[in-house]
Structure formats: C-alpha cells, structure tokens
A and B are shown apart, each in its own frame.
Chain A
Amino acid sequence: DAGVTQSPTHLIKTRGQQVTLRCSPKSGHDTVSWYQQALGQGPQFIFQYYEEEERQRGNFPDRFSGHQFPNYSSELNVNALLLGDSALYLCASSWGALNTEAFFGQGTRLTVV
C-alpha cells in the first residue's frame, strides 16, 4: 500500500516563474491538504481539497492555487514566484468522513533563485 507520494522531490525555479507540485494521496484517502514549511519553522496550512473543491484556505495569497482530480490526486500551483516562496511543501492526505490522522508525503523542496 503506497503512502502519500509527492513529485518532484527537489525543484529550482527563477523568481517570477510559475511552478506546479503534485501529490498522490494514500490509498483510500479522499482529502488532500497542502502545507508550506520554511526552514527551521513548523508547517503552515495553505489549503485543503475535498470532493475536488477547495474547502479551507490558510493565510496565503491568490498566487497559490490548487486543484484536485477525480482520482483524489492534487496539484499545488504557485505563480509569480518570490524568493520567500522557497520552502518545503508538504502534502497530507486523510479520509474526509472521519477524524483520522493526516498522513504526510516526503515533501517537495522548492528553491527560488
């Protein structure tokens, strides 16, 4: 049973570019959440997708957008990259109907230069 998988594992982008990060949830999970973890900090909630809709959103600008596909996988898009967007981006999946714990992927390390 594969856990949460994220791709790519590392990415280097130039300021002003756009980036897409991908996440496949754990088998049987239908809810995907994205978090941004700056170096030396705790993860910060970006948004959550359930039934292909954004259900909750954290304090992030509109440059951060997402999508969830019918197979429950998800993408995180960031436009007009800033140096401050450099971080580890974590995806977590859970089953929406129950209060189960979230399972995390290994993250995508994004570096903006």
Chain B
Amino acid sequence: AQTVTQSQPEMSVQEAETVTLSCTYDTSESDYYLFWYKQPPSRQMILVIRQEAYKQQNATENRFSVNFQKAAKSFSLKISDSQLGDAAMYFCAYRSRPGANSKLTFGKGITLSVRP
C-alpha cells in the first residue's frame, strides 16, 4: 500500500517571500502521479500542481513549482512571492497509474499561514 507523509503540521511565511512544503511517500510502483492540493476555509480541494513520475522535469505553475526526487521519494512544493490568498491547508497526494479509476492517497496536510 502507498503512504504519504507530511511531517510539518504548520508553517508560516512572510508575504512576498518563498516557502517550501515537504512531502515524502512510499510506493513499490514505478509509474504514478503526485499532486499538491490546496484547501482554503471554503473546504473545496483545489489542485495546485501535478507531477507525473515518468517525467524528469519538475512541474511548474506560475508561482508554484515542485522538487521531485524519485529515488528519494520526495515531492516538495515551493511557493514563490507568497500572497495572503495562499494561506490554506496544503495536501500532498499520490495516485497510481494506469487508468483513472484509482484512488488518491493523501498526507495529513500542512497549515500555511502568510504574514502581511
């Protein structure tokens, strides 16, 4: 079974600064997806970024980028130029391939606060 570990329960960052959220996972599979989801107080999970394990290039989406280390089974999220709207819970998640009929396995999440 796959597991996802987020060991930092809380982090804080100054507005406009950069912060990195850590995630490690365990799997015996060679092909899979990794995700970072954001959950604001509105409760709706919002996809931030996705990484396919077979791609060596780290994914980027505007101010969000990942550092994917497949051998180390590490998947961290870097948020640049932090904004007040980035304050939320962030979840790292794993999903097997092939096929879309597969579950997401989430970590426990990290609460990110942004100081003005």
Cβ-defined contact, A56 with B103, below 8 A: yes
Cβ-defined contact, B44 with A96, below 8 A: no
A89-111: CB near B (< 8 Å → 1, else 0) gives 01010111111111111110100
For the complex, is B80 an interface residue (Cβ under 8 Å from A)?
Answer: no
* Residue on B nearest A9 in the bound complex, by CB: B43
Known: A98-B100, A99-B99. A92 touches B106 (CB 8 A): no
For the complex, is A42 an interface residue (Cβ under 8 Å from B)?
Answer: yes
For the complex, is B85 an interface residue (Cβ under 8 Å from A)?
Answer: no
* Residue on B nearest A58 in the bound complex, by CB: B103
Q: Which of A43-51, A65-73, A75-83 contacts B (4 or more CB under 8 A)?
A: A43-51
Cβ-defined contact, A43 with B33, below 8 A: no
For the complex, is A24 an interface residue (Cβ under 8 Å from B)?
Answer: no
Cβ-defined contact, A31 with B101, below 8 A: yes
Q: Hey, which chain A residues are within 8 Å of B93, CB to CB?
A: 42
How far apart are B4's CB and chain A's nearest CB, in angstroms? 8
Cβ-defined contact, B45 with A104, below 8 A: yes
Cβ-defined contact, A42 with B109, below 8 A: yes
* Residue on A nearest B91 in the bound complex, by CB: A42
7 other A-B residue contacts (CB within 8 Å) besides A33-B104, A44-B106, A56-B103: A43-B106, A88-B43, A92-B104, A95-B100, A97-B100, A99-B100, A107-B43
- Residues of A in contact with B (beta carbons under 8 Å apart): 31, 33, 35, 40-45, 48, 50, 55-56, 58, 88, 90, 92, 94-107, 109
What are 13 A-B pairs with beta-carbon distances under 8 A? A40-B108, A42-B91, A42-B107, A43-B104, A45-B105, A48-B101, A48-B103, A90-B45, A92-B45, A95-B100, A96-B100, A99-B99, A107-B43
